[in-house]
Amino acid sequence: MIKENLAGVLPETTMSLWIQPLRFRQVSEGLLELIAPDRFFCSWVRENFYSTLRNSLDALNMQDTELRLVVAADIAPALLPPGRKAGQLRLPRVPLVKHSVRPLHPRFTFAEFIVGESNIMAKTACEAIANDDPALGRCLFIESGSGLGKSHLTHAVAHKIMAESPATRLQYLTAQQLTAEMVKSIRSNKMEDFKEKYHNCDVLLIEDVHTLSGRLKTQEELAAALDILIGQEKRIVFTSKFCPRNIPKIEPELLSRLSGGLITTINPPDLPTRKRIIKKKSDNHILKLDEELICFLAENIRGDIRQVESAVVGLKAKMGLAGRDRADLAMVKEVIRNIVDTSEGVISTEAIRDFIAKQFKVSAEELRSKCRKREVAFPRQVAMYLARKFTDQALADIGRAFNRDHSTVVHSVRVITDSINRNTSVRGQVDLLTKKIRKQFS
């Protein structure tokens, strides 16, 4: 009855995300408990929907009923019949499942992930892993900067597998947690238990694998586990800020295994994708934004998607304090002032292209042409490398400034990176151009 009442007040998205997962329990005539999946979920509902829930109770003539939000894990033992131990019941012939999963964000699901040109390969590969579809391989490595969605996708994989295949032996943790667990196992003489856990899982998800840099013992144990899992065609997902070959102090044995499957990159989203992300975030927070404001936010928040969340939450809080139901441009500018710097012009790929053209005494049109002569191709590659370094634009957007596709940008960045590492002359040249760009556009 309460959920039916709320359905007439809250948007469908909000209902499915935040209200449907709640369980209602009448503890006594004067007390109603709302049971939330975890502490984050409980805190969010309390802060954002408590008054709505309270109003729904009042509408049902339950003004005297106390409303209490609790976490499922805190009351699970009390809900079990006397004498029964806590834990999920198993069907006959289903083996005891040993899995460990880091706390999952309730909104990090595939349905909530906004797809664009920058992330479609990563999302498609993660869905294949979650669906146990071998079409794209059994091992996936996702590289991206902070706040671009790699954690969202790994959470989504875990959500889907646990919801649809609860008997799956799933291990999901960060590389730091893996190291800490291994050290603890060594100190307590329980390395056999550690090996049993990671050599016999069905799905292994490890985030931030770049933090294993220099941790030789952890690398050795992980490489041994991967040998077994890959040989048994188990599903594996790694995330990292760097692609495997750019992770420093990584042992060749582990590097080979990290590079053995599909490697995909999540790039900063382009403008249309950023607009869809902002629209989705604002809908989740029941915040109405005009198209003009969505465009302004999308044009100014270019990288970390967490900044979008911060801006939307801040905007809603400011509207609440001001007693307003709609935002205006001045309010949006004030909110994002502490999130991104809008006082300076944003460096564009076109600006970097034109600057490099002048430095090498070629024209911008030559850099956009199909000319492959060294005196044009090298400046073009340098310009693409610096555009990747100084802008948050997607690879396809950078490529368009040079009349090329994203694969050419990837190749150019790789060529210049290798040249910088091998050739001191190129390194000095790029360093000088970097200083000039910072001075020119500061």
Beta bridge partners of 32: 26, 67
Residue range 23-62, pLDDT digits in tens = 877 767 678 888 887 776 777 787 778 888 888 877 777 7
Q: How long a stretch of residues is the chain?
A: 442
> Considering the entire predicted model, what is its pTM?
0.61
Residue range 134-179, pLDDT digits in tens = 999 999 999 988 888 999 999 999 999 988 888 899 999 999 999 9
Confidence of residue 244 (pLDDT cuts 50, 70, 90): very high
pLDDT in the model for residue 79: 40
Confidence of residue 368 (pLDDT cuts 50, 70, 90): very high
Using CA atoms, how far apart are residues 158 and 195, in angstroms rounded to an integer? Answer: 21
What is the full DSSP assignment across 283-336?
HHTT----HHHHHHHHHH--S-THHHHHHHHHHHHHHHHHT-SS--HHHHHHHH
Asked whether 378 and 364 are in contact (CB, 8 A), the reply is no
Using CA atoms, how far apart are residues 415 and 156, in angstroms rounded to an integer? Answer: 35
Asked whether 127 and 247 are in contact (CB, 8 A), the reply is no
SS3 at position 369: coil
The domains located in the chain, with CATH, are 2-79 (3.30.300.180), 100-266 (3.40.50.300), 271-336 (1.10.8.60), 349-441 (1.10.1750.10)
Mean pLDDT of 382-399: 87
Share of the chain above pLDDT 70, in %: 90
Asked whether 178 and 218 are in contact (CB, 8 A), the reply is yes
pLDDT in the model for residue 323: 82
Using the structure block, give the residue that is written with the tokens 């790929």: 349
Nearest to 409 by CA among 417, 401, 398, 425: 398
Q: Which positions ≥6 away from 294 have C-beta within 8 Å?
A: 275, 278, 279, 282
Nearest to 403 by CA among 358, 359, 349: 349
Confidence of residue 183 (pLDDT cuts 50, 70, 90): very high
Calculate the alpha carbon distances from 110 to 117, 185, 366 in Å: 16, 35, 43
| DSSP 8-state code for residue 172 | E
How many contiguous H segments (helices) and E segments (strands) does the chain have?
20, 9
Residues 253-256: contacts with CB under 8 Å, at least 24 apart: 253/219, 253/220, 253/223, 254/212, 254/219, 254/220, 254/222, 254/223, 254/226
